[in-house]
Amino acid sequence: MNGQKGTRLWDITHPAHPRQLGLGLIGHRGDVASAALSPSGDLLITADNQGAAIFWNLSDPVHARRLGDPFVPYGRNGFSLAVAPSSDIMVTGGIDGNAFLWDLGNRILPRQLGIALAANLDAIGHMVFSADGDTLAISGTQGDVALWDLRPVYDLRHRLAATACLVTGGGLNHEQWTHYIPALPYQDTCTQ
């Protein structure tokens, strides 16, 4: 890849004769240290040892294309990542021992879901979701593994409107709606 940092995709249909798919996926400033694939297989996320992730559209793997600017959740620290098998949720973990969940509904600008999963004992080495996506296992560099139950996160996402009404004490009034959502006509979103 001529000294540029990135990765390559390979077709291993015939393992004795692997074939590179398209050009190299370049754009990283550091060495690619982690990668994850979305459940649908159309999104590849590569992360480098400088703390940046790049999202790649793989709907045509031979012509993979980059989606947006590099995503930098940790500044200059390296990190690992994984994607849940049952949804568009990604987890990133850094050397500080914190892991964060991200909503990948907008694949150009992921949105953080809640606060850090911070009870990990040391720097995060690897992360993997259970087959149903309900549990996340995070291994530290010293050999400890923390198991996280993610069912409350999924429940919250399914009850987002009810939770928003609970948190705001009844939703937005006319004045707040006009201030925060001026492009849409007012709706009382919290009437039961």
The encoded tokens of residue 118 equal 């911070």
Q: Are 146 and 120 in contact (CB under 8 A)?
A: yes
pLDDT by residue for the chain (192 residues), tens only, comes to: 445 688 999 999 999 999 999 989 999 988 898 899 998 899 999 998 888 899 999 999 999 999 999 988 776 567 789 999 977 899 998 888 888 999 888 888 888 888 888 766 788 888 999 999 999 999 988 888 989 999 888 877 777 777 778 777 787 888 888 887 788 788 887 875
The encoded tokens of residue 188 equal 């009382």
Got the DSSP string for 47-107? EETTS-EEEEE-SSGGG-EEEEEEE-SSTT--EEEEE-TTSSEEEEEETTS-EEEEE-SST
